[in-house]
């Protein structure tokens, strides 16, 4: 059942006593046909990525269209063929090797972000802004282990160009999602929110006072600072609203923290539960660049295998590492396929799942032709979509399409030139 309602212009302002304040995105600014049934399940988004890419010859199918032969690396996904699409020749037109991998979900390197209105906000955080305080956690950023330097997880970025450090221990993620805080802990949190709120009020007032004497460049810098303040205010307000709401009860005990090969499946399980309990609707899972390869039967580092130089023995080792990732990703899709929403629809059909990397070829340090796979979300799947190399299609076009399916009113996300129109 649907009803029609008047639609507010997205540029509506509040005006009074000489002040004009732009309204945030409200439900009244969304398209006019909305569901009367408030129990209609929401759309969700999960982004999974690694920092070292995938073996191109083992990832990309030889032929385009629906009749492609599943490549060796992706064979664990054969049973999900109808629920996924493989994309060839999509990237962000950036370079820098390891130092550009962090642009995977944004399309922009952090050093180039200042030239863009939304800086290098990542896909997940743009979706999380749309969710806001509807869930306890607007987003979850996790990594199945940690790393340093160029191998450190850096997939998620705020509108102010700040990298969101991931949760790297399964036990920490479990506690945050499902372990109830005691009364004393809730009181401390409430007091902390009050103190932070008061500090922000004071800072904002002082900033308004000193702004009058600043030059143009300084005012721009101050405006960026105030934008950061407003982001913190919104997060504090959203978090405080969940203080007295009980966390969901699940039939899982606190997991033990182990190496990557033991914890990857646990992280996927926790993300599945987080989505199922509507604790969040947006999640990122980062695969670290440092893993315990010995538990996959190898001797050497993940990074070392990625620099194979076409040596057969190293490529075989890298294939084992990457196939391990794909197998667990396939199990995750299986879990989402087995769940149903309140209206009986498959969970996967309302969960947009991205799998890929900001590195196209780890051996040559190329950030071109990124390995991209999209599953779920109700898209028209079952194909290998190969785009012309000479007329590059930005990966941000796909991200724009994903955000629109998620419900975000956006025409272009970051470097996009449009959408993937024949896919949605």
| The predicted structure's pLDDT at residue 210 | 75
| Structural domain range at position 190 | 181-245
Non-local (6+) Cβ contacts of 391 within 8 A are none
pLDDT exceeds 70 at position 29:
no
Residue 116 lies in a domain: yes
Task: Mark whether 278 and 350 lie in a shared domain.
Answer: yes
Task: Mark whether 396 and 322 lie in a shared domain.
Answer: yes
Give mean pLDDT, residues 99-103: 95
Alpha carbons 232 and 287: distance in angstroms, whole number = 28
| The predicted structure's pLDDT at residue 95 | 95
Alpha carbons 424 and 13: distance in angstroms, whole number = 33
Residue 37 lies in a domain: no
| The predicted structure's pLDDT at residue 27 | 44
Read off φ and ψ for residue 113, nearest 5 degrees.
-70, -30
Non-local (6+) Cβ contacts of 315 within 8 A are 55, 308
| Position 238 confidence tier, pLDDT thresholds 50, 70, 90 | low
**Considering its fold, how many domains does the chain have in total?**
2
Residue 415 lies in a domain: no
Task: Mark whether 325 and 362 lie in a shared domain.
Answer: yes
45: helix, strand or coil: strand
Strands (DSSP E) contained in 275-317 are 282-286
Sort residue 378 into left (φ over 0), alpha (ψ -120 to 50) or beta.
left
Residue 273 lies in a domain: yes
Task: Mark whether 264 and 331 lie in a shared domain.
Answer: yes
Residue 423 lies in a domain: no
Could you report the per-residue pLDDT of 257-277, keeping only the tens digit for each?
999 999 999 999 999 999 999
Task: Mark whether 60 and 190 lie in a shared domain.
Answer: no
pLDDT exceeds 60 at position 316:
yes
Give mean pLDDT, residues 93-110: 95
Task: Mark whether 264 and 345 lie in a shared domain.
Answer: yes
Q: Mean pLDDT score of the chain, rounded to an integer?
A: 85
Residue 11 lies in a domain: no
Task: Mark whether 52 and 159 lie in a shared domain.
Answer: yes
Long-range contacts of 108-115 (CB under 8 A, 24+ apart): 108/414, 108/415, 110/157, 110/161, 110/163, 113/157, 113/161, 114/161
| The predicted structure's pLDDT at residue 246 | 85
Task: Mark whether 189 and 284 lie in a shared domain.
Answer: no
| The predicted structure's pLDDT at residue 18 | 42
Task: Mark whether 61 and 208 lie in a shared domain.
Answer: no
Residue 5 lies in a domain: no
pLDDT exceeds 50 at position 16:
no
324: helix, strand or coil: helix
Task: Mark whether 200 and 307 lie in a shared domain.
Answer: no
Beta bridge partners of residue 91, listed in sequence order: 394
Here the CATH number for the domain that contains residue 159 is: 3.40.720
Task: Mark whether 281 and 371 lie in a shared domain.
Answer: yes
Write the CA distances from 347 to 14, 41, 66, 277, 402, integer angstroms: 39, 9, 24, 12, 16
Domain edge (last residue) among 245, 265, 290: 245
Task: Mark whether 159 and 213 lie in a shared domain.
Answer: no
Element (H, E) at 373: strand 372-376
- Axis-axis angle for helices 123-131, 395-406 (nearest 10): 20
Alpha carbons 293 and 290: distance in angstroms, whole number = 9
Non-local (6+) Cβ contacts of 407 within 8 A are 30, 42, 43, 130
Q: Contact, 273 vs 252, CB < 8 A? A: yes
| Position 205 confidence tier, pLDDT thresholds 50, 70, 90 | low
Alpha carbons 63 and 383: distance in angstroms, whole number = 10
> 40-54, 158-172, 180-194, 390-404: which range is least confident on average?
180-194
Nearest to 139 by CA among 235, 225, 230: 235
Residue 291 lies in a domain: yes
Give mean pLDDT, residues 212-237: 65
pLDDT exceeds 80 at position 24:
no
């Amino acid at each position: 059942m649907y009803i029609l309602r008047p639609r507010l212009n997205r540029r509506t302002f509040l005006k009074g006593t000489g002040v004009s304040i732009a309204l945030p995105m409200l439900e009244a600014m969304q398209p006019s046909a909305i569901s009367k049934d408030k129990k209609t399940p929401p759309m969700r988004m999960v982004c999974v990525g690694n920092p070292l890419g995938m073996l191109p010859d083992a990832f990309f199918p030889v032929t385009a269209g629906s009749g492609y032969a599943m490549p060796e690396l992706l064979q664990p996904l054969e049973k999900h063929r109808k629920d996924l699409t493989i994309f060839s020749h999509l990237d962000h037109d950036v370079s820098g090797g390891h130092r550009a991998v962090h642009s995977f979900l944004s399309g922009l390197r952090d050093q180039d972000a200042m030239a863009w209105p939304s800086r290098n906000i990542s896909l997940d955080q743009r979706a999380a802004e749309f969710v806001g305080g509807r869930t306890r956690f607007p987003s979850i950023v996790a990594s199945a282990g940690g790393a340093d330097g160029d191998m450190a997880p850096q997939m998620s970025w705020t509108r102010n160009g700040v990298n969101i450090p991931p949760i790297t221990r399964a036990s920490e993620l479990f506690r945050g999602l499902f372990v109830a805080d005691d009364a004393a802990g809730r009181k401390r949190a409430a007091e902390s929110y009050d103190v932070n709120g008061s500090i922000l009020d004071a800072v904002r007032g002082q900033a308004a006072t000193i702004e009058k004497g600043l030059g143009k460049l300084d005012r721009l810098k101050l405006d960026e600072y105030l934008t950061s303040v407003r982001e913190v205010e919104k997060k504090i307000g959203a978090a405080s609203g969940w203080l007295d709401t009980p966390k969901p009860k699940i039939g899982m005990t606190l997991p033990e923290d182990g190496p990557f090969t033991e914890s990857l499946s646990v992280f996927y399980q926790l993300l599945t539960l987080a989505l199922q309990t509507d604790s969040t609707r947006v999640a990122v899972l980062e695969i670290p660049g440092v893993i315990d390869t010995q538990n996959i039967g190898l001797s050497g580092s993940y990074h070392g295998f990625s620099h194979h130089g076409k040596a057969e023995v190293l490529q075989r080792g890298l294939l084992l590492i990457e196939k391990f990732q794909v197998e667990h990703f396939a199990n995750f899709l299986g879990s989402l396929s087995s769940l149903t929403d309140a209206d009986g629809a498959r969970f996967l059909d309302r969960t947009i799942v991205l799998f890929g990397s900001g590195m196209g070829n780890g051996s040559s340090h190329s950030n071109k032709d990124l390995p991209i796979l999209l599953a779920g979300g109700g898209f028209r799947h079952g194909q290998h979509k190969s785009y012309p190399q000479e007329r590059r299609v930005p990966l941000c076009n796909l991200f724009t399409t994903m955000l629109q399916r998620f419900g975000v009113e956006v025409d272009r996300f970051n470097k996009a030139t449009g959408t993937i129109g024949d896919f949605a």
